[in-house]
Amino acid sequence: MNIFRVILAIVFPPLAVVDKGCGSFLIVFILTCLGWIPGVLGALIIMNKD
């Protein structure tokens, strides 16, 4: 996880997980629509998985 992706996850969480698949993007997008903090946390958790 590099610093650029972490900053991207903070600014626009769904864009940070685009390469992880459609399901991850959709989950983070829905979480971001419900609130910015859940979206950021979801993106960071998904990016941290191998």
Residue 26 main-chain phi, psi, to 5 deg? -65, -40
Interval 3-25: pLDDT, tens: 999 999 999 999 999 999 899 99
For residue 18, give Cα distances in angstroms to 22, 26, 27.
7, 9, 11
Closest CA to 12 of 23, 25, 21, 2: 25
pLDDT band (50, 70, 90) for residue 50: low
Output the average pLDDT for the chain.
93
DSSP string, 1-50: --HHHHHHHHH-HHHHTGGG-HHHHHHHHHHHHH-HHHHHHHHHHHHH--
What is the average per-residue pLDDT within 29-39? 96
